[in-house]
Structure 1
Amino acid sequence: MSRYQTLDYVECDGVAWVTLNRPEVHNAFDLQMMREVHDCWRELRDNDDVRVVVLTGAGDKAFCTGLDRASTDLNQPKAAGPDDIGQRGATPLHLNDPGDLLPPKTAGDLWKPVIAAVNGMACGGAFYLLGEVEFIIAAEHATFFDPHNTYGLAAVFEPMLMLQRMPLGEVMRMSLMGSHERMSARRAHEIGLVQEVVPASELRAAAQRAATVIAGHPPLAVQTTVRAVWYAQELGIRQALDVGKPLTLLGSSAESMAEGQRTFASGRRIDWRLR
């Protein structure tokens, strides 16, 4: 049984399944869920038994619909508790934001691969999570949208994160159209946001298949690859290439290279699939 109250956590054969588990509110996050997600990322970082993470939502209606507004008063400049989301103090210069707790890289410092299995609606604050996963597999009925502007809120951090994985025009359209338009899983696949679209009944199997393959690779090589690709996103190309030199040495241990050489020399045929 999961020790979390808002997450379901299962770990098996090097893969951790983290399920956002508030289906009664479409897996919207309250402060407790945010804290538990942050704690989970940090614990996964230190858990050498886990090589890959799959992130999904409970039920079949929603992956996550962002902040649970019923549990958070966005109009109060001074929140009740020191960790509550919103403006801190009398000026707008201090802010507690879900981005301090939710993104696996920025908040969790987690460089193990995270695969998102999107099982329905993904909107608003869900992009704090999706903006920093390695890739996304979506059910055919999944949809993506950002309702901030419709309800009088600026969309800021969410489109900033999604700009790392979507073309500018698509980010702008999704942000400015608000709740009046949803992007289908098919369209999300066309623009590169989603890497695979499957029937809902096959979503878990598709995510498990990818996670199992990745978990079978040497973890140092995998995690260094993840960090290198994100460096290339975050830095200029020249700076990223300079960082890449020590990463190549750090991420290719004698043990993992020997294992790879044995695999190559064995002549064993890899049973690959065409995507």
Structure 2
Amino acid sequence: MFSLRSRRGTSTCYKRMAALFLRRLTLQAIKTENNCIARCLEKHFLQKTAPAQLSVTVSVPRLPSLIHAKAFSVAEDAQDKKNKKKKTETALTSTGRKISERIIQVFDEKGNDLGSMHRADVIKLVDKRDLKLVKRNACTEPPVYQLMTGLQIHEERMRLREQDKAKPKTRPTLTKELTFSSNIGQHDLDTKSKQIQQWIEKNYQVQITIKKGKNVEDPENKMEAIFNQILQTMPGIATFSSKPQAVKGGRAVMCVLRHLSTKEENMYREAQKTQKGDILNKENRNDRPPDVLHQ
């Protein structure tokens, strides 16, 4: 009986020693953040080991909450660096004495090519002339730099800013849709034409669908005539982006109207001037007295 108690006591001692060793090992793993043992223990205690399976005599310290690192993408990070680099280069920023390339091609402040130079010689030249060094083209081999004064950099920045403002800002073309019957009354058609004109003036495209009315005696070209009537209310403003065509198995006709381009507006104005000039010339000819033949 004494032997049995001794064996039980030895087993309990081993369990306590194992628990103490496991506790020390866990604390050591927590202190070392990037240790492989810490990752294994975290995975073991947080994912696999259920609380009910742990021994009552073993007191396992609670692991601290995991710190969630910000996810990142190598491609996005490289793209951001590329965009920042491009923005910096186009902003005409002085590089100072930090020249990453060993050999560079240098232009002076007057635009004269000084040839390829070592960066140490370029730095001496910058200090001697009291100028600033600006990277102009990093895609060539060797890359191109230019010596510039502070006033030249300011003027060049202003010129580039004006160029950016002058560039047309494109935006996606939005489309409005309008559907009505071919039996529409004239008053309602005038109201819809005004709405279409407002959309066109805001540079929307307008998709118009006209359904055939219940009256079977309507001529086939009635819906096309309605489209032309709508377009005639907006001279010099709108035109067909998509001409009338049958849809829904011939039960309706659809077209798309858009705003005139700048070129089309200029052509329309020129045509109007020419037409007006022809009318004036014709009126002047009609106002002249008939020629009388003197014998």
TM category, shorter:
under 0.3
Question: When the two structures are superposed, what TM-score results if normalisation uses the length of structure 2?
Answer: 0.23
Higher helix proportion (structure 1 or 2): 2
TM-score (norm 1): 0.24
Larger radius of gyration: 2
**Greater RCO structure (CA 8 Å; 6+ sep):** 1
